């Protein structure tokens, strides 16, 4: 899909484009994590060590304790940056970095704790603080949006879900037409592709990055049910049907299946960076099949499987806790 001049003033690169840095959240609110706190820090440290082989990593530390614990575990493999944070989910609380009128800018949005469900001190300040740390001017928008609620292919297409984007706990009274108009304007896209519901028990109210991801222009992947007890079997079938009906090229990989008491575990919550894709795994026999499928979909990138069970206990995984900084060449076209 060739983007018309009408939309050229705003451009969000796809996540497989060259990255200058990758931000990662670091847990510091122990009460929010309970017994998973230490395990989550260990899993995130493993993720950072793997990602740092491919891209400069900046770790967002929201307190003295966070900085001290991150330094003790990570040493000098990543840059530790003091910015206000509540939870670790930078995908939602951080900025979306775009090229606006040929200059990189930080797009920021209202954040209300995932519809008022989890409101933590610092989260509403994170996006502006990361923008400042990157030396980027901020373009603030006056509606609620989390980065995990949208998925872009860099060629004029955007995926989202009705369950989240039209939820009255975000922007009360928004119609689908109003939401679509706002998304097209803010992200410079031509097509908004709507899916229905997200995963069962997902406290984000159905973020799209847990159910479908682009791997190239017009090419999307989703999951199939793994086992007869997969709690999202019907949802997966509906997602695949909707994506095919939208005219996209669709690839399907294995889901993790039933994890715990129907936790929202997903192989879709991988993180893409320079030369690598980091895949969260959940001690599932289906993870190897997902790894092999991603290797076919991301040729030339190393597929790195890392455990994420403790991170999942906090409500998300690798994609949720990261935010990439695209590398923009001065004056370069999209």
Taking the C-alpha atoms of residue 164 and residue 244, their distance in angstroms, rounded to an integer, is: 21
Question: Which of the 8 DSSP states describes residue 109?
Answer: E
The two tokens of residue 4 are 């018309």
CA angle 299/211/176 to nearest 5° reads 120
CB 287 within 8 Å of CB 279: yes
Q: Which residue out of 61, 164, 222, 320 is catalytically annotated?
A: 320
Instruction: Confirm whether 61 is a catalytic residue.
Output: no
DSSP states of 163-190: HHHT-TTTSTT--HHHHHHHHHHHHT-S
DSSP states of 3-19: PPGGGTTEE---TTS-E
Taking the C-alpha atoms of residue 140 and residue 109, their distance in angstroms, rounded to an integer, is: 6
Taking the C-alpha atoms of residue 213 and residue 270, their distance in angstroms, rounded to an integer, is: 9
- Give whole-number Cα distances, 278 to 57, 208, 220, in Å: 14, 18, 17
Residues designated as active site: 320
């Amino acid at each position: 899909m060739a983007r018309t001049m009408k939309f050229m003033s705003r451009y969000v690169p796809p996540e497989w484009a060259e990255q200058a840095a990758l931000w990662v959240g670091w847990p510091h609110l122990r009460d929010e994590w309970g017994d998973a706190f230490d395990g989550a820090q260990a899993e995130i440290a493993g993720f950072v060590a793997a990602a740092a082989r491919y891209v400069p990593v900046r770790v967002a530390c929201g307190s003295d304790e966070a900085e001290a614990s991150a330094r003790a575990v990570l040493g000098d493999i990543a840059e530790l940056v003091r910015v206000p944070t509540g939870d670790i989910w930078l995908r939602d609380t951080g900025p979306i970095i775009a090229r606006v009128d040929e200059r990189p800018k930080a797009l920021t949005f209202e954040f209300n704790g995932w519809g008022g469900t989890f409101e933590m001190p610092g989260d509403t300040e994170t996006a502006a603080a990361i923008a400042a740390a990157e030396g980027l001017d901020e373009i603030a928008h006056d509606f609620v949006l989390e980065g995990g609620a949208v998925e872009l292919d860099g060629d004029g297409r955007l995926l989202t879900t009705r369950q989240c984007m039209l939820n009255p706990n975000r922007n009360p009274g928004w119609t689908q037409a109003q939401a679509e108009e706002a998304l097209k304007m803010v992200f410079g896209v031509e097509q908004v592709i709507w899916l229905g519901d997200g995963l069962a028990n997902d406290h984000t109210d159905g973020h799209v990055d847990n159910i479908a991801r682009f791997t190239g222009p017009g090419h999307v992947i989703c999951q199939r049910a793994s086992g007869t007890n997969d709690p999202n079997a019907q949802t997966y079938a509906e997602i695949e049907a909707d994506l095919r009906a939208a005219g996209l090229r669709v690839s399907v990989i294995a889901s993790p299946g039933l994890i715990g008491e129907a936790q929202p575990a997903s192989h879709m919550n991988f993180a893409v960076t320079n030369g690598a894709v980091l895949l969260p795994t959940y001690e599932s026999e289906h993870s190897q099949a997902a790894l092999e499928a991603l290797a076919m979909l991301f040729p030339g990138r190393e597929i790195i499987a890392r455990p994420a069970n403790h991170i999942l206990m906090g409500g998300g995984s690798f994609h949720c806790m990261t935010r990439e900084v695209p590398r923009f060449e001065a004056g370069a076209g999209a």
